[in-house]
Each structure stands twice: as C-alpha cells, then as structure tokens.
Structure 1
C-alpha cells in the first residue's frame, strides 16, 4: 500500500469510496432515502470543490494498492487553531486490514510536521460504534458530544475525539 497526496484526478475514485463507505457504515444510522439518493453526485461535487479550490493548509491523502484506491484521509485547519480530520474512509471490504491505522498514523505525522503544536480532532456519529472503537484503540480521547445538523434536514448526535500534539 502506498499513501500519496491526493489530486483532482482522484476526485471520482474518492467520491465513489466515500459514497460506498457512508452507505455501508451509516445504513442503520442515516435516513435510507438520503443514503439511496444522489449521494454520489453530492460527494463528487464536494471533492471536486475541495480539490479545485483548496483550503490553505488542508491535505487529502489517498491510499492505493496496485493503482486501486483503498482509503483516504482529509485534514483541514480550523479557525480555532486545531486540525480537523474531516474524513477517514477505508474500502468496506478492507476494514481491519491496517489501512485505516496507516492513514491515521500518516495524518498524525503530517499534522506534527506541517502544523506543529496543533491538536488533531475529528467528529464521529455516536451510533458509529465501530469507528469509535477504532479511534479509542488509537489513542483518541472523547472531548465533546453535540448535535450534528445535516442540511438534508436530519439531526444526529456526534462525538468529538482529540489527539494532543506530540
């Protein structure tokens, strides 16, 4: 497996994996009509925007194996000085293969190198217990619990997990 900086050429593959990941992980969490609707088109527009109009200091890293996308992680600086790990997705058939662990470690190394002294954090849906277990196994500390309001008209509870600077 190789981890490289993502580019606009990766947008379609990332959007496809992002959609597949959400439809699998959130099947019993998010409304079915949303997950089964134009989710791919929404994710594609998001990734095309992020990669054509990048946020200063943000980065997308893609994991590939034999030219196939196996996972990705996206990090972006926030106005409070912290770095948001906004997406960490692994191909559902490759969960527990080490891909997520390697992507998280890569993200942590990147933050300590590119944004030294900054805290890394993420938001995860409270009902996504496999992801929570993964973050806790990898040293994430729960630092907040709050409602997450989705523009599609539903609200779910999210948890915040934090890794302090090393």
Structure 2
C-alpha cells in the first residue's frame, strides 16, 4: 500500500472499520479469534458477498506469532464456520499480488487462484490483487485437513 496511507490515515481508517463491525455487526458475518495465554493471538473475519460467496476479509496473526500455527488454526476454524453458517457457499479472498508470503500460505491450505485484477481502494489508490477460492465442496475438507 502507498507509504502515505500506511504512515497517515491507516490507523483511523481501520479503527472506523472495526468500530462499525463490532458495534453494528452484519447479521451473517463471523469473527474468529485465537486467544493464547490470555491475549489475542490473531483473528479472521468473514462476511457474505452479494454474489453468494463468503469473503474471508481478514486473517491476521499477531506480529511475532506468524509461523507459529495460529494462522492455519484460524483458517481451519474460519472455513468450518463458513461451511456451518453458509453451507454450499464458496469462500474467497483477495490478496495483494505483492504479498507472496500470504499467497504461499493460502495455496498451501488448498485455495485455488480464481482471478487477477487491479483492486480499487476507496482511499484513492489501485494495486494489483489476486482472488483465491475454496470451493464449497472442499471447504469442510480444507477445514479439517489443512496444516500449517
């Protein structure tokens, strides 16, 4: 993302987004939180899309916890949640093309690249992104067998 956004309005932008998500949650959205030793170790957020799929909109491990297995466990729980709450629906995500570590993670966990485009961000910039999908039939399988 542009350095001006990262060093500027990023915090306020995310604070506003999460304030809305937590205080006025979408009825069919889900938040999966990993807690370890009494502190939040990571989270995943999913929301249904108008096209009938479920969007894995966020999946984050706490800094310093990447590579510890938290992400894989979060992903398995997120996919299991999607299969239970939105049966028969594909789960998709969008990832910046430059985020090669995340791309490798999703591919290791069974996601299939289903699109490539330029993402238009509401903050006024564009970046190349990829779309990955877990097909509905594979979601329960991926959620039970994925390993970090």
> What TM-score do the two structures reach when normalised by structure 1?
0.79
Q: Kindly provide the CA deviation profile for residues 50-108 of structure 1, in whole angstroms up to 9, marking residues without a partner as x.
A: 11221121011111112211110000011111100000011121111000000000011
Separation in 2 of the partners of 1:108 and 1:88? 11
2:52 matches 1:71:
no
SS at match of 2:64: helix
Structure 1: give runs of 5+ residues left out of the alignment. 1-29
1:133 is matched with which residue?
104
SS at match of 1:93: coil
1:81 is matched with which residue?
52
Q: Kindly provide the CA deviation profile for residues 17-49 of structure 1, in whole angstroms up to 9, marking residues without a partner as x.
A: xxxxxxxxxxxxx11111011322211111110
1:157 is matched with which residue?
128
Runs of 4+ in 1 over 4 A off after TM superposition: none
Structure 2: give runs of 5+ residues left out of the alignment. 138-148
1:36 is matched with which residue?
7
